[in-house]
Homo-oligomer: A and B are copies of this chain.
Amino acid sequence: MLIDDGLEILTEAQCEALLSSRTLGRIGVTIGGLPAIFPVNYAYVDGSVVFRTGPGAKLRAASRGIVVAFEIDGYDATLQAGWSVLVIGRAAEVTDELELARLAASTLSPWAGGSREYYVRVEAEVVSGRRIVSAGVGA
């Protein structure tokens, strides 16, 4: 489906395939009333974005069940081509012992060291994606 601003809408299946193929995304949270965006290493598990975090804004968002945005994208600067996928959902800390054990055995490993003992899940309630179909022509 082509929308009118030079972007093509991706299907949900395309979005899910892209979510499953990547490991780095960005999460939008609110800190002290101000918006913020941070990169996170994630896994896409059973329709949810899951990542590890330490005590901080991302965990607080999860504890309060706040609706957050999560984004991944891929770009080729030479071709001026690219795509992005946006996930919107409620953040929740994973507390179920069985699920924690399963996640701990997974490949989900944050790049940054330090203490990141909490797992946060963002259930993908809204998934959308778009792809650039025509390069900008200057001006």
Q: Which residues of A contact B (CB under 8 A)?
A: 4-7, 23-24, 26, 28, 34-39, 41, 54, 56, 67-71, 73, 75, 77, 80-82, 84, 86, 88, 104, 109-116, 126, 132-139
> Which listed residue, B34, B41, B67, B70, touches A88 by the CB 8 Å rule?
B34
Main secondary structure of the interface of A (DSSP, over half): strand
Question: Within the oligomer, what is the number of copies of this chain?
Answer: 2
Q: With contacts A26-B26, A28-B69 known, is A39 near B75, CB below 8 A?
A: yes
Q: With contacts A34-B67, A39-B73, A39-B75 known, is A110 near B136, CB below 8 A?
A: yes
Q: Which residues of B contact A112 (CB under 8 A)?
A: 5-7, 132-136
